[in-house]
Structures are given as C-alpha cells and as structure tokens.
Amino acid sequence: MDPLHGITLERIVTELEELLGWDHMGYLIPINCFNHEPSVKSSLKFLRKTPWARKKVEDLYIERIASKQKE
C-alpha cells in the first residue's frame, strides 16, 4: 500500500514545515528552496520539476509523519 496515496505535495511540504521548520528541512535536504527565502509556493514549484528532490521530501514525510500516523 502506498503511504502517500491521496496526499498532495502541498500537504507534505506544509506538514513537514510545521513539524520541522524550514531551517531543519534545509539541513536534512540541502536545497535552495528550503534554505533561501523559503515558502510553500517556491518549494512546490521546485519539487514538481525536480524528481530526485521530490523523492527525498516524500521519503522524509513517510519517515517523520506517515509512519507515526499508523501507530
């Protein structure tokens, strides 16, 4: 079963930002959209056209949020 089924990229970025904050997200995944003037909008724009970065963000979401919701 896909743990991301029905979860939008916007929700993933928003929930990670609320849980971790931009600084920690930028530390864990060092990409400019998290480290320089971060926003959900700029992050979504970058992640939608950069598959490797999107995969890292989705994996972080699964590790930090989706796996906790099952418990």
Cα–Cα distance between 51 and 71 in angstroms, integer?
A: 29
pLDDT band at 66 (very low <50, low <70, confident <90, very high): confident
The predicted-structure confidence for 10-59, as pLDDT tens digits, reads as follows 999 999 999 999 999 999 999 999 999 999 999 999 999 999 999 999 99
Does the 9-70 domain belong in CATH 1.10.720.30?
Answer: yes
Neighbour count for residue 25 (Cβ, 10 Å): 22
pTM for the model: 0.90
Cα–Cα distance between 60 and 6 in angstroms, integer?
A: 17
Q: How many residues does the chain have?
A: 71
